[in-house]
């Protein structure tokens, strides 16, 4: 066989191999299941974590996530971000505070200042200012009189402190996650009174009070708050799971690509997290809380 003829045969062989390889890649690509759609269908509590995209771009996002996991030696992914009030801890503001003021919840909502509590949660005002503007009608309370405005703040704080308790089943769930070395952070809208929750329930045994509105100066569902969380954690959005009882907060997290679960009760949350591969196994000698 002549030398030019040999070159021609070799060229045809290589071209044929390349075409076969390209066909194989295409077949594999379009057989990859849409993981997000599967989770959404199997779990109604799961907010869609990604904007609509082609399957190929989904593969790229998945590969990036796997690379992040493989490159980490001491950080277990995903990172879990928990809202606190009425997700982990009972919120006395809605359950007990109206009775403290001798009102229904509807009456309290109608007569309280529309932004005072929000400003308090963001750390913009302190307790003194809260007591001054708490009611929008400006009803008179003298700070120097322990039976008036000071009583309102002190009494309301004591009312809330008494009302703080773990949501049923939550502490066992947090304990299991902690035993399995998951990184867990609070991601909550709450004022400096989160310290009262910590004093009573010792939540820091299970998570870090990392993202609290009174410290960060932002509240959910502000998109910047979610982006700040991702930036501070130095993690991709798909490597986080966010849990909150407020649907609007869940939807806002999903908008920035964070996998998000709408909390309804502990049993449903356990099912959702288990379906996503979260490990809850706990050794018998570690079942003390």
pLDDT in tens, 114-166: 999 999 999 999 988 988 888 888 775 433 444 455 566 778 888 899 999 99
Q: Which of 258, 261, 211 is nearest to 237 (CA)?
A: 258
41 versus 220: which is more confidently predicted? Answer: 220
Q: Is 43's pLDDT higher than 90? A: no
Query: 27-31, 91-95, 181-185, 252-256: which has the minimum mean pLDDT?
Result: 27-31
Sequence-ordered list of residues with C-beta below 8 angstroms from that of 163, at least 6 positions apart, any chain: 90, 91, 92, 95, 96
User: What mean pLDDT comes out for the span 7-32?
Assistant: 42
pLDDT of residue 203: 98
User: What mean pLDDT comes out for the span 88-110?
Assistant: 91
Contact at 8 Å (CB) between 220 and 187?
Answer: yes
Helix (H) or strand (E) holding 227: helix 223-233
Q: Which of 240, 196, 244, 195 is nearest to 221 (CA)?
A: 244
pLDDT of residue 28: 37
pLDDT of residue 153: 72
pLDDT of residue 46: 63
User: What mean pLDDT comes out for the span 268-289?
Assistant: 80
Query: 60-74, 111-125, 232-246: which has the minimum mean pLDDT?
Result: 60-74
pLDDT band at 47; cut points 50, 70, 90: low
Taking the model in full, what pTM does it have? 0.73
How far is the C-alpha of 212 from the C-alpha of 215, rounded, in Å?
5
Helix axes 55-71, 35-42, angle to 10 degrees: 90
pLDDT band at 3; cut points 50, 70, 90: very low
pLDDT of residue 156: 84
Give the residue carrying structure tokens 């196994």. Answer: 281
Contact at 8 Å (CB) between 252 and 220?
Answer: yes
36 versus 47: which is more confidently predicted? Answer: 47
How far is the C-alpha of 52 from the C-alpha of 37, rounded, in Å?
10
Q: In what order do the strands lie in the sheet with 182-188?
A: 46-47, 259-262, 240-244, 76-82, 182-188, 208-212
How far is the C-alpha of 256 from the C-alpha of 49, rounded, in Å?
8
């Amino acid at each position: 066989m002549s030398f030019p003829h040999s070159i021609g045969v070799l060229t045809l062989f290589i071209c044929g191999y390349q075409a076969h390889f390209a066909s194989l890649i295409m077949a594999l690509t379009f057989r990859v299941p849409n993981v997000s759609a599967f989770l959404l269908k199997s779990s109604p509590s799961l907010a869609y974590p990604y904007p609509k995209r082609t399957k190929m771009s989904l593969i790229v996002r998945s590969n990036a996530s796997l690379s992040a996991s493989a490159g980490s030696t001491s950080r277990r992914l995903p990172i879990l971000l928990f809202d606190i009030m009425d997700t982990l801890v009972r919120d006395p503001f809605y359950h007990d505070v109206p009775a403290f003021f001798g009102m229904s919840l509807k009456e309290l909502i109608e007569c309280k200042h529309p932004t005072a509590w929000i400003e308090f949660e963001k750390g913009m005002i302190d307790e003194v200012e809260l007591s001054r503007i708490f009611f929008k009608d400006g009803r008179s309370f003298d700070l120097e009189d322990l039976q008036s405005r000071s009583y309102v703040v002190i009494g309301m704080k004591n009312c809330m402190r008494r009302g703080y308790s773990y949501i049923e089943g939550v502490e066992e769930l947090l304990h299991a996650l902690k035993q399995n070395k998951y990184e867990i952070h609070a991601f909550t809208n709450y004022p400096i009174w989160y310290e009262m929750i910590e004093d009573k329930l010792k939540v820091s045994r299970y998570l870090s009070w990392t993202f609290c509105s009174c410290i960060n100066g932002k509240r959910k569902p502000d998109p910047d708050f979610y982006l700040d969380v991702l930036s501070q954690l130095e993690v991709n959005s798909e490597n986080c799971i966010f849990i909150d009882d407020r649907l609007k907060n869940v939807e806002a997290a999903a908008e920035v690509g964070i996998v998000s679960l709408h909390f309804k009760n502990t049993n449903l949350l356990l099912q959702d997290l288990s379906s996503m591969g979260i490990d809850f196994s706990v050794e018998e000698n570690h079942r003390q809380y």
